[in-house]
Structure 1
């Protein structure tokens, strides 16, 4: 039996989830057997889930409470808290774990903060001590230099255009890319989360989630302009914009709001979900990983597709407003989304994570 943990909104976020939910697929029968199995761990609005790279430990962003919590497996379909929940920022909505399993980065939509936590050997979260070197650099140089060391917990912004941190990706060189939906920035940060440099996107685009392509390019989906921006690094390690591609030729700006960006196993196709028209848009990746072309558009099978992932020749799509998860078939040859194979219940789902 293949298992999936499902994050969702609870009563503190106007949802029905009682915690982390549990879905399963019967071995040998495929995704058409996807079934809701109940609550795996009580928690308050665990809206985003992330997996430790080597341990059977799951991290949850408790969005309404503004906390992060580690959980460890306690049974075939159950989890238990691993250590105490730690304070994060307002509306913490995304978590990323470093490839070495020693650091977790939390992005907070409400106040724009990007917060780092240490991860102990057993997977529990540890509040990171302030980085003395970063503090010294900031004291000596301030924030006037191009490669300044701005405090990650003090985002730049104002009442008219507030900072809205929304996701993070660990880069191969150890730095971290973070997307700020409010300021239209992709920020390249050092390991201590001080800012190395910014990549500015056009105003009003709203960068939300990112995928690091095997070619080394970083693809960024924008919530407000329905585009995917492609970024690349030069020889000096400075990132810049390569090109922008519309997510779908019939996406309606102001009505459609892209959410997740997922990649096929071979890196040849990207998938984003359009909340509004409730569709899945596929883009073909060409060239050296820097050229994207709209490929296909299909029904997501849910209302308000918040998150999706590629699994066994299908997409599993979480429908926040319909309280369902759908299974969308992918064309074996082209990777294009096709028919909805199955829909199963799940309380206010907002993220799906394969169980280890």
Structure 2
């Protein structure tokens, strides 16, 4: 892993997972200037195929990456305290195909993986340092959805633990379901299954900072599903659906990523096809969404994006091999391009360090 100039006080850091190959750099540490949005590569790591999603341990000392291959793997890296360079510690089979999402519980006890093509999910127990010990659970989803071209079987697309770690939430694109599991010492048992509209293709879930509401971006019908959320019971109730696209959108499009601002007033969702990020205002009393605008991401196929400290949004345009930075207006949540972008091979996931 190469190392360049150290982080400055004006910069925030994030890791980027990509669809690059093991023979080339595929995980990057990027520094972004909070004032200008200018970005630069600080470190880069090779040796892993298609690390499409990465997640930091709560301590910041370990980085987990899934290798999205037919025989999926989970890689664990030590994060150097001073340089943030990555050092490979461990790699384990996910016993599933094409893992596309990885997350860690807030207590740092478990890592969770979603395997897209095989439609299965995993839990790995962690030791006190954050190193995976064993696979403590593997759940295979079964069934099919409405669309035979994309929902011929289960497709687990994301897996997210609740804040207290008692529940685990899985969006299955193939089944049109949000599946809620109980987490008991790393073992999963089905709590209940929430059915979403036929052919919607739920992809990613985000919990509102108040923990009163939750939102799912649906890939196949380009909508966001808004829900109330009972954190103690680990249950959701759908309130409404809202399109992620403008009224005049005509070409094919798929929804991708979803984020809520730390202040809880703004929700963002990305569109692949329109190649935009949609902004919604959130009613903080009811959780209701109001569509405000769609902004071009400055590239094609914005598979993921994320919000950084200092008021920046970084969009990862997989199709045009570039990261683009935006300034977020504090009062309105609207996005404006900083004028800076960074060339990067097939960027996918943005994971902030601070």
- TM-score normalized by structure 1? 0.86
Q: Which of 83, 87, 100 does residue 93 from structure 1 map onto?
A: 100
- The worse-fitting range, judged by mean Cα deviation, of 97-106 and 85-94 is 85-94
What pairs with 1:19-168 in structure 2 (closer than 5 Å)?
A: 19-26=26-33, 30-64=35-69, 65-74=71-80, 76-129=83-136, 153-158=139-144, 160=148, 161-168=152-159
Shift in alpha-carbon separation, 1:222–1:254, aligned structure 2, 3 A: farther
Q: Give the corresponding residue for 2:195.
A: 200
Q: Give the corresponding residue for 2:170.
A: 178
Please, what is the CA RMSD of the aligned residues?
A: 2.2
> Is the Cα–Cα contact under 8 Å of residues 105 and 162 in structure 2 kept in the other structure?
no
Q: Give the corresponding residue for 1:143.
A: none
- The Cα of 1:40 is off from its aligned counterpart by 3.3
SS of 1:43's equivalent? coil
Rounded to whole Å, the distance in 2 between the matches of 1:197 and 1:50 is 26
Q: Give the corresponding residue for 2:216.
A: 220
Rounded to whole Å, the distance in 1 between the matches of 2:94 and 2:200 is 30
> Is the Cα–Cα contact under 8 Å of residues 251 and 274 in structure 2 kept in the other structure?
no
SS of 1:333's equivalent? coil
Q: Which runs of no fewer than 5 residues in structure 1 stay unpaired?
A: 131-151
Q: Which of 174, 189, 198 does residue 181 from structure 2 map onto?
A: 189
Q: Give the corresponding residue for 1:348.
A: 346
Q: What is the total number of aligned residue pairs between the two structures?
A: 330
> Is the Cα–Cα contact under 8 Å of residues 43 and 85 in structure 2 kept in the other structure?
no
Rounded to whole Å, the distance in 1 between the matches of 2:215 and 2:111 is 21
Is 1:294 matched with 2:291?
yes
- The worse-fitting range, judged by mean Cα deviation, of 204-213 and 280-289 is 280-289
> Is the Cα–Cα contact under 8 Å of residues 323 and 346 in structure 1 kept in the other structure?
yes
Rounded to whole Å, the distance in 2 between the matches of 1:338 and 1:114 is 38
Shift in alpha-carbon separation, 1:95–1:129, aligned structure 2, 3 A: closer
- The Cα of 1:70 is off from its aligned counterpart by 0.8
> Is the Cα–Cα contact under 8 Å of residues 40 and 77 in structure 1 kept in the other structure?
no
Q: Which runs of no fewer than 5 residues in structure 2 stay unpaired?
A: 1-6
> Is the Cα–Cα contact under 8 Å of residues 8 and 47 in structure 1 kept in the other structure?
yes
- The Cα of 1:54 is off from its aligned counterpart by 1.7
Task: Name the one with the larger strand percent.
Answer: 2
Rounded to whole Å, the distance in 1 between the matches of 2:92 and 2:203 is 25
- The Cα of 1:352 is off from its aligned counterpart by 1.2
Aligned structure 1 segments of 4 or more residues deviating by more than 6 angstroms: none
Shift in alpha-carbon separation, 1:232–1:32, aligned structure 2, 3 A: closer
